[in-house]
Structure 1
């Protein structure tokens, strides 16, 4: 890619970013759009329509100031530790690339440009020069200036490891402090037991009760056997869909309303019949929630193997009642194992199929290849502006469109893998999407750039390290454009919430309400499985390319700065927490950064070998070993605190609550906290309320309020 093509991409995406930011600053202040841009504040009774019409039409940056001033403690108290970890991941990357940027832009970039391996730098002809001129590829073979690159690799590695240690320690301490400051939570005293053996002549209830009374006599409290409610949940969802249609067509014809009312009556009757049927003995699943009198007792029971047969009495810490994902409780050990095998095979197939759009995208960046494939386009491709848009902007736009479908697919695969909590599903989907991006966006892009000319050489495994070292720098221009398109523009469009805005307009045109069927605000939650992998992938690009093509660093710094402001704003105004893992996403962040460092070292080994400086390769060789040793130390030192709380922490917290007069009432409620909401009696005919008992939309119930009440706010919202 030449400089002018990159500038075209930067210009287009910068214009889109300015457009989205300007529209957001205006449209968010219009009362009719509060449900799109400030649903959390609207549900929490925190805004009021402004009486100043002109002020609502002038863009203002006050929201940027509010996001910037949001402190960590405020974020922690309103959005939880997961949100804090997410923002600290962004600030971690900012710190890394400020340090790496100072080295890369002011030291390495001039060295790269001063070389003559590719061409001599000419500032007059800069629009038409290739971006490879600013990469390490342009440094002369055997040049002593390559030692500066070698030293930079050491410096950045040391800095990243220092920050990783500090962050791991900080978040580990925050996790413990967060636990100490929390009130008693049901999941802290509860474990999930599956694979319950039932002797002949006994029941599941009797088997669970006798087992835990025998082996945990001092800490066992009670239990709740889980029922098969899959069919019930299908009926509930069908009822909700029909009820929503009735709510949205309240002003429709009397005939359609009568049909909907008849359908609702039939579904309601089916629900009551199925509830009675599923509550009968013999309809239980061989799984149960078991409650304990102390956190320590529950944790001990969840960590130990309960039976000599490891497939019986399988225990794990229970999720929060609001976090429970019910469909897979009926699955046996064999079913869960088979589902994992199927998911692995499916994941591999999806990853392999995505190679097709990657190759297509790489073909668009290669004009000569396009002319060979499509000779009738030769005349069009010869036009300067078309070729610049085609090579600089269009490939990443196409890739972005394909990538939009990946996170939902990964979430679906994780949901049928056997997880019993929404948080586990998102963590699993996060890992899947991250691996997918590393392989399909990084490795497949780099290698596909060489497929056209060096396919047979790539088939020889011995050539892969050297081919990787030679191919990675040549794709620097593609990844710079990738950062601009999938970083800048994607983040600003997420701020503008363009799809939600269009959906809201369509509903208004159809005279439908933007609220759910019981008149409440739909407050979305943060999709960590979509955004954490994207941030980590940009971190991988920065660490990998900082010494190869330091020109990528300012574009990354702009992206992370935008992400810092935008996501803090969204946590204030849009997202409410749906679950809380207490920072369990951080080990994924740490592991990805370690992988990025080792990848950088591997490429550096190949680069210095290709550049005829084997001494530098020898100096680099210990770095991946030291990095992996550092990772092993962190894994031993901090990771256990993210798997389970220590006995010291649990016992201290139990003793702290021992004299709490509210604990007896808490234990009384604990018995019913995990009752399947689908089994509760529901009165749909007499009320518009569709929410199932003991079920809330998120972890912050006070945020939910009716629309009519939210419109009577007394706090002015003009920002």
Structure 2
């Protein structure tokens, strides 16, 4: 169904009203007492060292210019390098489409409007005498702004081809500029990693000599039938070595030769072997062959030589390569039985702490302390639960149960930890930490072994992001899972084409259209809003499904999972949102003509395909107006926050968690941004009016997400700017589709020269992509050896000895969280619970317990808003704002000092120019 100017205007008007209302509500509610912590949680966290953002103006709309003006240094200090990189991507989209809009609106739009092809085709509808066979096209006044209005064979098509070249090289220029910015931010991130963290650590996978993860250990009967026989035989031989206590590396091979020649053959082999053998290479005398090193055999023998210790084998192997630069090795263990116990323990501890806090809060308000009970089912808690509570549901005293359950869980956790540390539960993975960055760079970038099925080495992810259970997969299982995941992904994409086609088909049903046209305002709304909204709704669950697929495929960190989501979600949207909607919409818009005259398919594509651009324009309008409005207000999270804080969160600690624990990931946002770049580029020549919509989309997204990243959301992970590598490739896909579209459209317009002229651009696309990858990709993987050596020298001078910081940091960092247990905290929680139980149940007095601040262990600024109680920790907002302003200035200056001290001089000179305005801005604010 063609989109009319009326329906488009009504749609834009409604969207604009929604956006304006959202901005007005946000401007008011961000200052309201009830919701200010929800809309700016980072302003109210008082943990020492937490990067608090600067205060915003209390005037109604004063926050907008302040957010726009905040420097890159402020963004990095408050939200990290990924946030700065993401905002640069949005800024690039705005700048790119601002330039493209100027080109196409000034040159292409007037050319399209001067054509008469649409008028001629509309006239065809009125002169056709036979409805069954006559041509009948569906057009609106908006179509006169597209390339549909240019007749075939027209010389004006050359203008479209020339502007295609201009748009392409404008895009190249901006992409090259932001590639340099991305590299600058990436190096800045790498130079400022603390000693002993991922800057000094590598992840080793597929460690040989470990039974876990091998085919006999992991494959069931069905899978074994699929695996080739030769692979199965080798796998079973490897695991058999472990049972046989190892074997010699040098193996004799039986050779069948005639008896009378055996002696001569053996002598010849021995002579040849002696001639070829050197101090470093040994040729087998019995066969005359040199065999490659068998990593599995070597590892098994070394493990047995070290009393069965895999860790000693790994340390020995790495020590032979890196000598004293190796600081520590942490083996990864199977914690599948331990993890559920730890999860339940944390849940019970939180419940017990909240209950104690609640009693303290009630006591302060002068309310009666009643004994709380809870229903437990002993059968769900193993032998301990059955013995203590029986098999049936039973009501028990809550404080006593939680205390006893935590004690039992601590005992069970100790046993499970000891079991997990046994040799049979070792994963074929380890974290190796070095005393300096130089060795880490070498280890992460070099080949550990010629056998790629063993000793696979990569830079370690951040310890907080690791998916520990996925470290047990070997390369064969990761490859198999990845293949299965891709098969499921393509099947899902194919299935999703059904609803996409259905939406387009629904809008072409005559009965449906007649009903809509009888109610003009409804028809305008449906044609302008329904298709894009339906597509947005269908896409909601896709990121969740892809995330589950990525985790199942064996990715080892949250960063890998989310970067994988960025790639796959973009591919999915290209297939369904772009190609699916374009193909379905092209034929649906002129379905009647195509059915009655299939021979007119070429003319149909040339006239109908540009109409589909208006569908994609409505899709971008949703992102520009509705996504921005809902992204700013976050209505659903706000409702959940209000309900939980009002009715479910009974303690200060629980209420604090509601507004503090707000996080986001880039995996769902970036593909929406890059698909918008693709749509804007692909249709910028065909339908010039789409470019200002794309420009407005990126401007609004920049404002909304700059605020949210600085004031609201915390980081789930930190890639250090690796987002850009995905974005660049996706932008190049957009350019490739632009050139494909122009070649196709100009071709069906029966023009010879222009499509050939545009086809040449594919060569430039390939050349530009290769040039960018060669120039910028490798430096983003890890530090150069020169930069690493400079950082090592600075750290040695600062810490007093090379690797001292790494030694101290690594002791606990890359140990699974399931092995970490805070005994002091455990004892304190149980002690407070017992003291509270004596007060509640036995009526004892404990003034010291109630004198302490219930919220002191979390954040002293948390207040019980529902009861109207103001804590002593809360100070006057004006005084707090002044103090925060000074603190923000100090933090920004300290951040600049870090930049000055953190990297090589060549990089420092580039970096400081971007941060000099930060301290000046904050000093000016202090003086004001």
Residue correspondence of structure 1 range 184-583 to structure 2 within 5 A: 184-198=195-209, 199=300, 201=304, 202-242=308-348, 250=358, 254-256=372-374, 258=396, 261=399, 262=401, 264-265=405-406, 267-368=409-510, 370=512, 378-379=514-515, 382-450=518-586, 472-512=609-649, 520=657, 522-583=660-721
In structure 2, relative to structure 1, the CA distance for the partners of 1:325 and 1:518 (3 Å cut) is farther
Q: C-alpha offsets along residues 368-404 of structure 1, whole Å, 9 cap, x if unaligned? A: 3746xxxxxx545532122112211122222212212
| Closer/same/farther in 2, CA of residues 382 and 237 from structure 1, 3 Å limit | farther
**TM-score, structure 1 as length reference:** 0.88
**1:375 maps to which residue?**
none
Change (3 A) 1:255 1:167: same
Partner residue, 1:35 = 37
Instruction: Describe the SS at the equivalent of 2:34.
Output: helix
Specify the SS of the correspondent of 2:328. strand
- In structure 2, how many angstroms separate the alpha carbons of the residues matched to 1:255 and 1:48? 45
* Structure 2 contact 98–695 (Cα < 8 Å) conserved: yes
Following superposition, the deviation at residue 513 of structure 1 comes to 5.3
CA distance 1:230–1:43, shift in 2 (3 Å): farther
Rounded to whole Å, the distance in 2 between the matches of 1:109 and 1:159 is 18
Give the Cα separation in 2 of the matches to 1:651 and 1:25: 49
Structure-2 change in CA distance of 1:454 and 1:129 (3 Å):
closer
Task: State the shift of 1:618 in Å.
Answer: 2.0
Q: Which moved more, 1:202-211 or 1:182-191?
A: 182-191
The structure-2 alpha-carbon separation of the partners of 1:474 and 1:247, relative to structure 1 and needing over 3 Å to count, comes to farther
Q: What SS does structure 2 have at the residue aligned with 1:118?
A: helix
Q: Deviations over 1:329-383 (max 9, x none)?
A: 1222222122111211121122122112212321343353746xxxxxx545532
Measured in 2, the distance between the counterparts of 1:226 and 1:518 equals 36
Task: Tell whether 2:819 aligns with 1:679.
Answer: yes
Change (3 A) 1:472 1:326: farther
Contact 2:5 2:141 in 1 (8 A): yes
Does the residue aligned with 2:117 lie in a helix, a strand or coil?
coil
Deviations 1:105-142 (A, max 9, x none): 222122212211112799xxxxx934322111111222
* Aligned mate of 2:780, from 607, 630, 642: 642
- More relative contact order, 1 or 2 (CA 8 Å, 6+ apart): 1
CA contact under 8 A between 1:598 and 1:624: conserved in structure 2?
yes
Q: Secondary structure at the match of 1:546?
A: coil
Preserved CA contact (<8 Å) 2:195 2:809: no
Q: Relative to 1, partners in 2 of residues 1:495 and 1:282: Cα closer, same or farther, differing over 3 Å?
A: same
| In structure 2, distance between residues paired with 1:39 and 1:26 | 16
Please name the residue that 2:728 is paired with: 590
Give, in whole Å, the separation in 1 of the partners of 2:745 and 2:115.
15
Residues 267 and 381 (structure 1), Cα distance of their counterparts in 2 relative to 1, 3 Å cut: farther
Please give the secondary structure, in 2, of the residue aligned with 1:393: helix
Report if aligned partners of 1:329, 1:420 keep a CA contact under 8 Å in 2: yes
Q: Secondary structure at the match of 1:529?
A: coil
Partners of 1:665 and 1:472 in 2: CA distance: 62
- d(CA) in 2 for partners of 1:82, 1:494: 19
CA contact (8 A) 2:586 2:605 kept: no
Q: Output aligned runs, 1:171-186, within 5 Å.
A: 171-186=182-197
Superposed CA deviations along residues 216-275 of structure 1, whole A, max 9, x for unmatched, are 214222201111123322333344445556667757971128465536435444334322
Gaps of 5+ in 1: 123-127, 372-377, 690-703
CA gap of 1:597–1:469, structure 2 versus 1, over 3 A, is farther
Question: Cα 1:499–1:269, aligned 2, differ >3 Å: closer, same or farther?
Answer: farther
Task: Name the structure 2 match of 1:694.
Answer: none
Checking the alignment, whether the CA contact within 8 Å between 2:45 and 2:859 is kept in structure 1 is yes
Match of 1:700 in 2: none
Deviations 1:462-508 (A, max 9, x none): x9999876654121111111111133211220111112101012213
Please state how far the C-alpha of 1:430 moved relative to its aligned partner: 0.9
Rounded Cα–Cα distance in structure 1 between residues aligned with 2:542 and 2:861 = 39
Structure 2 CA distance for aligned equivalents of residues 464 and 536 of structure 1: 31
| Cα separation, 2, equivalents of 1:170 and 1:687 | 49
Kindly report the root-mean-square deviation, in angstroms, between the aligned alpha carbons of the 2 structures: 3.2
Q: 1: distance between equivalents of 2:441 and 2:456?
A: 13
Q: How many residues align?
A: 684
Cα distance between partner residues in 1 of 2:666 and 2:687: 30
1:654 deviates by 1.9
Task: Identify unmatched segments of 5+ residues in structure 2.
Answer: 123-138, 210-299, 360-369, 376-395, 831-855, 864-873, 883-928
Give the direction of change, closer, same or farther, for the CA distance of 1:344–1:512 in structure 2 (3 Å limit): same
Residue pair 2:587, 2:608 contacting (<8 A) in 1 also? no
Shift of 1:636: 0.7
- The residue number in structure 1 matching 2:25 is 23
Equivalent residues of 1:114, 1:120 under 8 A apart: no
Equivalents in 2 of 1:679, 1:518: separation in Å?
A: 29
In the aligned structure 2, how far is the partner of 1:48 from the partner of 1:180? 26
Q: Is the 8 A contact 1:223 1:671 kept in 2?
A: no
SS of equivalent to 2:119: coil
Per-residue deviation at 1:300?
1.5
2:215 maps to what in 1? none
Moved more, 431-440 or 245-254: 245-254
* Inter-partner Cα distance in structure 2 for 1:451 and 1:299: 55
Query: 3-state SS of the aligned residue for 2:450?
Result: coil
Q: CA deviation at 1:412?
A: 1.9
- Matched residues in 2 for 1:525 and 1:572: separation? 12
Shift of 1:323: 2.4
- Residues in 2 aligned to 1:584 and 1:236: alpha-carbon distance in whole angstroms: 33
Indicate how the Cα distance of structure 1 residues 511 and 170 shifts in structure 2: closer, same or farther if over 3 A, else same: closer
Q: Secondary structure at the match of 1:193?
A: strand
Q: Return closer, same or farther for 1:254/1:546 CA change in 2, 3 Å cut-off.
A: same
Distance 1:116 1:514, change over 3 A: farther
Q: How far apart, CA to CA, are the structure 2 residues paired with 1:268 and 1:133? A: 74
Distance 2:676 2:445 in 1: 36
2:912 aligned partner: none
**3-state SS in 2 of match to 1:352:** helix
How far is the alpha carbon of 1:586 from its aligned partner? Answer: 0.8
Deviation at 1:204, TM superposition (A): 0.9
Contact persistence 2:193–2:199 (CA under 8 A): no
* Equivalent pair of 1:292/1:298 in contact (CA under 8 Å): yes
Higher mean C-alpha deviation, range 257-266 or range 227-236: 257-266
Partner of 2:861: 709
Q: Give the alignment partner of residue 609 of structure 1, picking from 714, 727, 747.
A: 747
Partner of 2:67: 67
